[in-house]
Copies of this chain bind each other. A is one copy, B any other.
């Protein structure tokens, strides 16, 4: 007999509260359950996305995905190469999306302000904090700014993007410390009910970790958050690490550069600590959350597990999954209709929840 289901609860939160947490399943190995053998196959580029997105989906696997740096100098060279490439591309992107980018320092932490040429009236009092991705190690300085510029330009929001410290300069929890320091300082000057935090990949995880930290320290919470394809569990489990291995052309495989980078940041710390794997955190009373991923994303499972965890905790959490996209491909090309759709969804969610 199943456990009795309590009838009459009138909200999803009440109904979900009695569902046994799935985290309990984590420790259990499915002993004796046979794996599925999948033969080699060829995946055509889908016809169900725009031509711009088709070009992104058709790109080969990221070069060097399985040959990450093995020394601090090697990681530093990778960081600098990314920043140099971004410095080249940024002026044209900022011009196309009509935003002004300026470096600043907030609470001792390097950051950038991104200001749209035109700010719609309902956004005048609003401020977003952006946390970049890059597996906790990549995308310093200008390399952090693409997603922030998309949000500022497409959504008409003022954005502060945090250029948090990364290895080999500083290790866990330095990145989180910096994000929280910027959050605390900006939320002291702007009503946090008019603020949101967003970011993808490691930036999505840091967004979630910052809320866990803010809850623990009694800091104000943002009115909403938008973690894109968050690295919500870096401890290993997650079905799409297998189903989308060598399907996702960005992260490619759980045994690739991103895993190596995360271990470099964690510096021996337990990878299942909720401040590295927020899916294991106490998610009650999280602000409204919009999550974004794609069907080919190596972190599809991380994203949907995070969504389920938030829903089980009674949080207003919505999920956007885009056809055919690998990891974080919703902010690759500002001319792709899917890019504009993804940022319109996030902007709409912020418009719904900020200033209430």
| Chain A residues packing against B (C-beta within 8 Å) | 1-2, 5, 7-13, 15-16, 18-20, 22, 25-30, 33-51, 54-55, 57-58, 60-61, 96, 116, 118, 120-122, 153-154, 156, 237-240, 242-247, 249, 295-296, 300-301, 304-305, 307-308, 311-312, 318-324, 334-335, 337-338, 340-341, 344-345, 347-349, 351-352
Q: How far is the CB of A354 from chain B (nearest CB, A)?
A: 11
| Contact A25/B51 with A8-B121, A34-B58, A96-B2 known, Cβ cut-off 8 Å | yes
- Cβ-closest chain B residue relative to A26: B47
Given A7-B156, A33-B58, 14 other A-B contacts at CB below 8 A?
A5-B153, A5-B340, A15-B348, A22-B337, A25-B51, A28-B54, A30-B54, A34-B45, A37-B43, A38-B42, A46-B239, A239-B324, A243-B243, A304-B322
Looking across the interface, which residue of chain B has its beta carbon closest to that of A15? B344
Complex contact A19–B308 (CB within 8 A): no
**A308 with B296: in contact, given A30-B58, A243-B43 (CB under 8 Å)?**
no
A-B contact pairs, 25 of them (CB 8 A): A2-B334, A7-B118, A7-B120, A10-B351, A15-B345, A16-B344, A19-B337, A20-B50, A20-B337, A22-B49, A25-B51, A25-B54, A30-B45, A34-B60, A35-B43, A38-B40, A38-B247, A41-B245, A48-B238, A48-B305, A239-B324, A243-B244, A304-B322, A308-B323, A319-B319
A47 to chain B, nearest CB (A): 5
Residues of B within 8 Å of A243, CB to CB, are: 43, 243-244, 247, 295-296
A156 to B154, CA, bound (A): 44
Q: Known: A44-B30, A323-B301. Contact between A344 and B12, CB under 8 A?
A: yes
B residues near A44, Cβ cutoff 8 Å: 30, 35, 242
B37 touches A239 (CB 8 A): no
User: Could you say which of B34, B38, B46, B120 contacts A41, with CB atoms under 8 Å apart?
Assistant: B38
Chain B residues with CB under 8 A of A42: 35-38
